[in-house]
Structure 1
């Protein structure tokens, strides 16, 4: 076979999707109103614009308002299972039932911001374009990086650059009990890049208009 690595990667991604990637998230009906009542443990970080996490390095916590419910469910389940290693998030996710996760996912998915344009409003540099092509990023996350081909994949356009950089690097961490993410597709992708290249990707994706936001919560309920 004389296929290029990028073509092989796209083929693998398509195969995983066709095999039912969406089935990875629990088919539990979520209640957004119930999720709002359960979000007290989330708003201390995700409800404060610009809030920073110091582990494993200083970075802004991700914007989760506007993500799809399936993605939020998958992420929380991965923290609960330990496939995503982060002491604070694992402790929180470990306290949640499947119904709690579904309710929180439904709640945060209702926080829509402006709809992202069909195509990126800012063209990448030639160097970044090559990195995006090598990683086949649009194959999963959509041409505008806000319309993933599977609802359990994240929207990444407009996400904080420092968070994206930390998240991308974490897929390359092996054997650390506190840091790392187990995902065979993303692990295969990120291993192709240096940290400097991952930072270039993160900075470009963060510069795009997206559908994510930090929605401040009322101080008193």
Structure 2
């Protein structure tokens, strides 16, 4: 009996493993290029501003890592990131759609050899240095990289060069709790954001946005010419 149970257990594990492997989804950039209709109205216009929860430029996503884009869209779809418009859009996307869009935007506008240097191009002011130093665990640079452009994990975004007002809104959202339509659920980021006042977050956002990065907005007219 024990031998039979062991065999059955082994077969069950094998089936789960095969099933998981079968469900692994690979993004296709060419397919993603045909699925951008709901993206270009905001992310395909340079300087386009959103009004929720306050006026700010929509984030640059071309050149962001595919893994992060998948993570972000999945969180909007699941409600971990609360944003009515993004939730509505994400709800219409299948896992394959998300993977394809992520693959497409991750290589959009990226040119070989065009990445910025691995060291920051400008030194932070004394005030910003003191804010960064407040993080005793160095979580900001450990996760996002010393230049805020080399994340240590695929689900962590590149931040260097991102719009300052978007970074400000995004970081503040991690401080929000118990609101139906606003806030982001992430224990690490929530803990980090709560260390700073909103004016201090604005200082950090301004500095990070001044750094050289790979993120950009590719105009809709060039959207299907990734190089």
> What TM-score bracket applies, with the shorter chain setting the length?
0.7 to 0.9
Q: Does 1:147 align with 2:150?
A: yes
Shift of 1:27: 4.3
Moved more, 203-212 or 112-121: 112-121
Partner of 1:206: 209
Partner of 1:20: none
The alpha-carbon distance between structure 1 residues 105 and 195, as it changes in their structure 2 partners (threshold 3 A), is same
Shift of 1:121: 0.1
Partner of 1:117: 117
The one-character-per-residue Cα deviations of 1:132-182 (angstroms, maximum 9, x if unpaired) are 233421110011110000011000000000000000000000111111000
Distance in 1, Cα, partners of 2:157 & 2:77: 18
TM-score, with length taken from structure 2: 0.83
Q: Which runs of 5+ in 1 are unaligned?
A: 1-25
- Helix, strand or coil: the match of 1:77? helix
What is the root-mean-square deviation in Å for CA atoms of aligned residues?
1.6
Larger radius of gyration: 2
The one-character-per-residue Cα deviations of 1:176-219 (angstroms, maximum 9, x if unpaired) are 11110000000000001000100000000001110000001228
Partner of 1:191: 194
Q: Does 1:169 align with 2:186?
A: no
How many aligned positions are there? 196
Question: Which of 31, 35, 39 in structure 2 is aligned with 1:34?
Answer: 31
Distance in 2, Cα, partners of 1:134 & 1:143: 15
Distance in 2, Cα, partners of 1:220 & 1:48: 10
Partner of 1:132: 132
Is residue 172–residue 193 contact of structure 2 (8 Å, CA) maintained in 1?
A: yes
Partner of 2:82: 85
Shift of 1:116: 1.8
Distance in 2, Cα, partners of 1:158 & 1:116: 10
User: Which 4+ residue blocks in structure 1 deviate beyond 2 angstroms?
Assistant: 133-136, 218-221
Q: Which runs of 5+ in 2 are unaligned?
A: 1-22
- Helix, strand or coil: the match of 2:120? coil
Partner of 2:17: none
Q: Does 1:55 align with 2:41?
A: no
Q: Does 1:101 align with 2:104?
A: no
Q: Does 1:178 align with 2:181?
A: yes
Distance in 2, Cα, partners of 1:191 & 1:123: 24
Distance in 2, Cα, partners of 1:128 & 1:139: 17
